[in-house]
Chain A
Amino acid sequence: EVRLWEFGGGLVQPGGSLRISCETSGFTFTDYAMTWVRQAPGKGLEWVASVSSGAVSTYYADSVKGRFTISRDQYQNTIYLQMNSLRVEDTAIYYCAKTLGSYGLYYFDHWGQGTLVTVSS
């Protein structure tokens, strides 16, 4: 059974930093790209960032480019999202998703339960 579980969310002040993580099991982690998708309270889904299966390529939404960094640990079957210079509009539930496709042409077949990041003073 595929399992994804995110942790590390919390309350952070504007301009601050936070790193969230997603541990996985139940599939061959190194065969799949992985992605972060977020959902602001009461809003729709927004793709944030993806990392290729071999960690060679990363892709970012314009809204987070230069502030967020996605990475993966191939031995710990875990992905990370380092978030810097956080803004109030980054407040959202952050989901990690097992990703199908290649070269940035991605869709998402399994999702974690999400971790809430709140940016507020």
Chain B
Amino acid sequence: DIQMTQSPSSLSASVGDRVIITCRASQGIGSNLAWYQQKPGKVPKLLIYVASRLQSDVPSRFSGSGSGTDFTLTISSLQPEDVASYYCQKYDSAPPTFGPGTKVEIK
């Protein structure tokens, strides 16, 4: 099975900072990658699919890029409401595997 890794596992940044989270697949997965946000105590929410397409109602400060094995989720200007864990998920083949997550906090 293809393994997914994320880096960093956690980060602390200031409001207004640009934040970049990386997701790497152990084999190429094309653009079959989604990103989810899970705020503390809340349900996961789809942010991005097909590596770079923004789900409706997601703020434009979120963006995704990459293909093959390396992907990034960028928050262009971190806001207090962005405190959450972020998970990538590949769906090029079964099983649809999640990455281990990146916890984002405000400094």
Q: Is the CB of B49 within 8 A of A100?
A: yes
Q: Is the CB of B87 within 8 A of A105?
A: no
Interface residues on A, range: 20 to 34
Q: Is the CB of B98 within 8 A of A105?
A: no
CB distance from B96 to the nearest CB of A (A): 5
Question: Beyond A45-B36, A111-B44, A112-B43, is A106–B98 a contact (Cβ under 8 Å)?
Answer: no
Taking the complex as formed, is A7 at the interface, i.e. its CB lies under 8 A from any CB of chain B?
no
Q: Is the CB of B43 within 8 A of A105?
A: no
Taking the complex as formed, is A44 at the interface, i.e. its CB lies under 8 A from any CB of chain B?
yes
Contact residue among A101, A107, A111 (Cβ-Cβ distance under 8 Å from B45)? A111
Interface class of chain B by DSSP: loop
CB distance from A40 to the nearest CB of B (A): 12
CB distance from A56 to the nearest CB of B (A): 15
CB distance from A62 to the nearest CB of B (A): 8
Binding site for A on B (CB under 8 A): 32, 34, 36, 38, 43-46, 49, 55, 85, 87, 89, 91-101
Question: Beyond A44-B98, A47-B97, A59-B95, is A108–B87 a contact (Cβ under 8 Å)?
Answer: no
Binding site for B on A (CB under 8 A): 37, 44-47, 50, 59, 61-62, 95, 100-101, 104-114
Q: Is the CB of A105 within 8 A of B44?
A: no
Question: Beyond A47-B98, A106-B96, A107-B49, is A101–B44 a contact (Cβ under 8 Å)?
Answer: no
Bound complex: CA A45 to CA B4 (Å): 12
Which residues of chain B have C-beta atoms less than 8 A from A45's C-beta? Answer: 36, 38, 44, 87, 89, 98, 101
Q: Is the CB of A105 within 8 A of B101?
A: no
Bound complex: CA A95 to CA B44 (Å): 9
A-B CB proximity, top 3 nearest: A104-B94, A107-B34, A45-B98
Given contacts A44-B99, A59-B94, 11 further A-B contacts (CB under 8 A): A37-B44, A44-B87, A45-B98, A47-B98, A104-B93, A105-B96, A107-B91, A107-B96, A108-B36, A108-B89, A112-B43
Q: List 16 A-B contacts (CB under 8 A).
A: A37-B44, A44-B98, A45-B87, A45-B89, A47-B96, A105-B32, A105-B96, A106-B91, A107-B49, A107-B89, A108-B34, A108-B46, A108-B89, A109-B46, A111-B44, A114-B43
